[in-house]
Structure 1
Amino acid sequence: MPGDNAHGRQETEEERADRNWTDLLQELRVAQTGVQILFGFLLTVVFQQRFTDLSATDRNIYVVTVMFGAATTGALIGPVSLHRLLAGRRLKPWTVKWASRLTLLGLGLLLCTMALALLLILRVALHNSLALWLVGAMVIWFCVCWFVLPAWARHRE
């Protein structure tokens, strides 16, 4: 039976789940494309001649970055698998809820991946502590864009 929600929409739980799933898919398309490109580039770094010139610290940063990239890829592709394996089982609201959680986890992991990739690149490019300050500034920027602004808008509503 259709009901009112806070936004005045007249939709059933299933209709809301369908709408939210469509919205989530659009968001995932953007995030997945970026993550897959970033992860692909990360995988090629180890095969570059200069990789052997990296310090042990930079190689460790690289390994951690690749692991975060893999975890990000898993979290952002996870909703697709979740939906495919649960399709037709009348679990759409549950699927949307957990797919949304995986997406948020993926965004957090993407933040870590981006920060580590920037750290590695800037350490190699600058050879000084400015790299940490620049990465810190970018992490703050990502947090503002990805988490603070939406939280502020939600709180304001």
Structure 2
Amino acid sequence: MMRESDGGEMASPASGASGRDETPEQRADRLWAELLQELRVAQTGVQILFGFLLTVAFQSRFGELSSADRTLYVVTVALGAGTTGALVGPVSLHRMLTGRHMKPETVTWASRLTVMGLVLLVCTMAAALLLVLRVAGSNTAALWIVVGMVVWFGVAWFVLPAIARHRVLARRDRN
């Protein structure tokens, strides 16, 4: 029996019981279905954000942006493209590996791409927010707001799950 380890990766039975009676293939199928649900949520938001970013260059006020803001815009669009690639990547990975008896490995790599996509999404949102707030107001206030947003996303998306995982594993070790 295999169990899920960090980030949806598949671990060997020696690393602990999964608490479910399923074969490695069944587990991989279940984890893949769960990952797809997560990706559907993330991909929709990323596609909307990326679409809006692409339209900014065609707005009449775009020509009024400073050189620094234009550079920030280009970086933001590049980050958005990278985010889209990382979050759509699991679909391509699955399609290319389907039928090759590699579902556990596919789940592992797709999970890694998804985490990379989330990291890139934080960067994309931070850059987009910084650009909008720089255009709308004070550079100093914009920077502090963006730092606060990045800290919040870091806590909500990465720190809280790590704490939850640590507590559950510590409780299991005591039992």
Q: TM-score category by the smaller chain?
A: over 0.9
Regions of 4+ moved over 6 Å: 1-4
Matches of 2:101 and 2:140, distance apart in 1: 54
Give the aligned length. 157
Matched residue, 1:72: 83
Matched residue, 1:153: 164
Cα distance, 1:138 vs structure 2: 0.5
Per mean C-alpha deviation after superposition, the further-off stretch among 95-104 and 122-131 is: 122-131
* Cα distance change, pair 65–86 in 1 and its aligned pair in 2 (3 A): same
Matches of 2:91 and 2:48, distance apart in 1: 18
- TM-score normalized by structure 2? 0.86
Matches of 2:139 and 2:97, distance apart in 1: 50
The residue identity in structure 1 corresponding to 2:98 is A
Matches of 1:109 and 1:124, distance apart in 2: 23
Cα distance, 1:105 vs structure 2: 0.3
The residue identity in structure 2 corresponding to 1:113 is T
Describe how 1:1-157 pairs up with structure 2 within 5 A: 6-157=17-168
Matches of 1:94 and 1:139, distance apart in 2: 31
Matches of 1:93 and 1:15, distance apart in 2: 10
Q: Give the fraction of aligned pairs with identical amino acids, expressed as a percent.
A: 70
- TM-score normalized by structure 1? 0.96
Q: Which runs of 5+ in 2 are unaligned?
A: 4-12, 169-175
The residue identity in structure 1 corresponding to 2:75 is V
Matches of 1:18 and 1:128, distance apart in 2: 48
Q: Which runs of 5+ in 1 are unaligned?
A: none
The residue identity in structure 2 corresponding to 1:70 is A
Matched residue, 2:172: none
RMSD, aligned α-carbons: 1.5
